[in-house]
Amino acid sequence: MKFGNDLPQAAANLDLSRLPRHVAIIMDGNGRWAKQRGFLRVRGHLEGVESVRVIVRLARRLGVKYLTLYAFSDENWQRPTTEIRALMNILVRFIRRELPELMENQVLLRAIGDLQRLPENAQRELARAEETSRQGARMTLSLALSYGGRNEIVQAAQSLARDIAAGKIRPEDLNPESFSARLYTADMPDPDLLIRTSGEYRLSNFLLWQTAYTELYFTDTLWPDFREEEFIKALQEYQHRDRRFGRTQEQVEARVSNTTRH
C-alpha cells in the first residue's frame, strides 16, 4: 500500500522546504499508558507500535529523510525477562508485517546498537530487512536497539585507539569528523530535531554525541497517544526555532540571504 501524498489538515501551516532532515524520537510512556487503563504493560507496547506505524507513514509523506526511533536501550535489559521476551517478539512481528509496505514506499529499515545481544531470530530479521529494503530507498528508518550512547562513544574510541596502536592513523589526525565516522550513525546526518514523549526531560543515554546541536522538543503526551497531530506540532515548533550553531542572528540571516540568491 502506497503511503500517498495527502497530508493531514494540521500540516497546512508547515513549510515543507524547512523540515528537519533527521528526526530522532525517544518513544516513552508505553507502560504508563497501559497502567492508567488497567492493562498489562505489553498492551502499551502494542499500542506504541501503532504510533510507530502512523509516524513513519507521515514522515515519509512529508519527505523527512531520516527517522531514528529509540526502541530498546542498554538499560532495558534490566527489565523483567517476560517483558523483554514480549518486546523481542513484538519486534520480530513488526519487521515481518511492515517490511513489504516499507519497501513499497522506498523506506530502508535498519538497526543501530549492540545488536549481538538481541535474540538470533531478531538479528536475522533485521539483517534481512536491511538487505532487502536498501535498494532505491528515499527514507531511512533506524531502530535503536540494545543502544546506549556512552557505549557507542566508548566503542568508537576503542576502534580509533586500535588503529593508532597499529600505526594506521596518527593521534593528531583525530577530529570530530573522524570520530563521528566510527559511530553507528556514521552514514547519517546528526538529528536536527529530537522529540521525547511522556513528560520526561532527559536524553536517557540516546545519541549523546550526535545531539550536540539538535533542537529538543518535549511533550507530556504518552507515546501510544502520539499520532499525526502531535508530530506536526513538534515540526511546527522546530520551524519556529533559530538554529545559529554559535553564530549571531545577523550572521545566520546573511547566510540564508546569500544561499537564496545563489
| Residues 112, 146: Cα–Cα separation, whole Å | 8
Q: Which helix (H) or strand (E) holds 23?
A: strand 22-26
Query: What is the DSSP annotation of 164-220?
Result: HHTTSS-GGG--HHHHHTTSTTTTSPPPSEEEE-TT--S-TTSSTTTTTT-EEEE-S
What's the confidence (pLDDT) of residue 250? 62
What's the confidence (pLDDT) of residue 48? 98
Q: Which three cell numbers stand for residue 90?
A: 513484538
Q: What is the CATH number of domain 19-148+189-261?
A: 3.40.1180.10
Q: Which helix (H) or strand (E) holds 257?
A: helix 249-261
Domain ranges of the chain: 19-148+189-261
Side chain identity at 235, as an amino acid letter?
L
Residue 148 sits at the vertex; the CA angle it makes with 137 and 244, to the nearest 5 degrees, is 70
What's the confidence (pLDDT) of residue 2? 75
| Residues 135, 204: Cα–Cα separation, whole Å | 33
**Catalytic one of 28, 30, 105, 190:** 28
Q: How many CA atoms lie within 13 A of 12 on its CB side?
A: 2
**Catalytic one of 5, 13, 15, 76:** 76
What is the tens place of the pLDDT at every residue in 2-60? 777 789 998 999 999 999 999 999 999 999 999 999 999 999 999 999 999 999 999 99
What's the confidence (pLDDT) of residue 167? 96
The full 3-state SS of 119-165, as one line of letters, equals CHHHHHHHHHHHHHHCCCCCEEEEEEEEECHHHHHHHHHHHHHHHHH
Q: Which three cell numbers stand for residue 32?
A: 504508563
Q: Which portions of the chain are predicted below pLDDT 50?
A: 259-260
Instruction: Identify the sign of the CA torsion 249, 254, 257, 262.
Output: negative
Active site residue 6: no
Cβ atoms of 126 and 115 within 8 Å: the answer is yes
